[in-house]
């Protein structure tokens, strides 16, 4: 990957990349679980990648204190970025939190922190599978 200065990218650009980065981990996990039917894969993936699930994961990250100060800064860059679109079935607050979540993964990808991406994605998957995101669902 070409070296990009993450400081020059706005939160929406980071979120654009981060959305894809996180989704690859989710898709791989679902295939690893033996799922293969596209409609079932899509329905199940929503539990991990929806704006509501991602916002709940951000709340859990705060509760469990797993992000560094720099990671929180990039989350906030995405959360506070001016977006001209919004999710159809969620509040503006939830949408902004999920944008921040995705920006965090975008920042980690741009800075080539592969191990940290894997660590956070695995942590997120574990939280969803334990049902922790459902109780915090907004």
Give residue for tokens 């990808």.
109
- List the end-to-end C-alpha distance of the chain, in Å, as a whole number: 36
Query: Which residue is catalytic, options 19, 32, 39, 65?
Result: 19
Known catalytic membership, residue 59: no
DSSP assignments along 17-82, one per residue = HHHHHHHHHHHHHHHHTT---HHHHHHHHHHHHSHHHHHHHHHHHHHHT-S-HHHHHHHHHHHHS-
Q: Give me the active site residues, please.
A: 19
């Amino acid at each position: 990957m070409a070296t990009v200065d993450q400081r020059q990218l706005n939160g929406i650009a980071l979120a654009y990349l981060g959305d894809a980065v996180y989704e690859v981990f989710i898709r791989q996990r679902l295939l690893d679980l033996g799922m293969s039917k596209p409609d079932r894969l899509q329905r199940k993936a929503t539990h991990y990648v929806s704006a509501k699930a991602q916002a709940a994961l951000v709340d859990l990250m705060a509760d469990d204190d797993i992000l560094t100060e720099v990671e929180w800064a990039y989350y906030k860059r995405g959360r506070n970025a001016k977006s001209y679109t919004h999710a159809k079935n969620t509040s503006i607050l939830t949408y902004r939190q999920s944008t921040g979540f995705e920006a965090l993964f975008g920042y980690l990808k741009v800075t080539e922190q592969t191990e940290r991406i894997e660590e956070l994605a695995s942590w997120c998957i574990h939280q969803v599978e334990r049902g922790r995101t459902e109780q915090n669902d907004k």
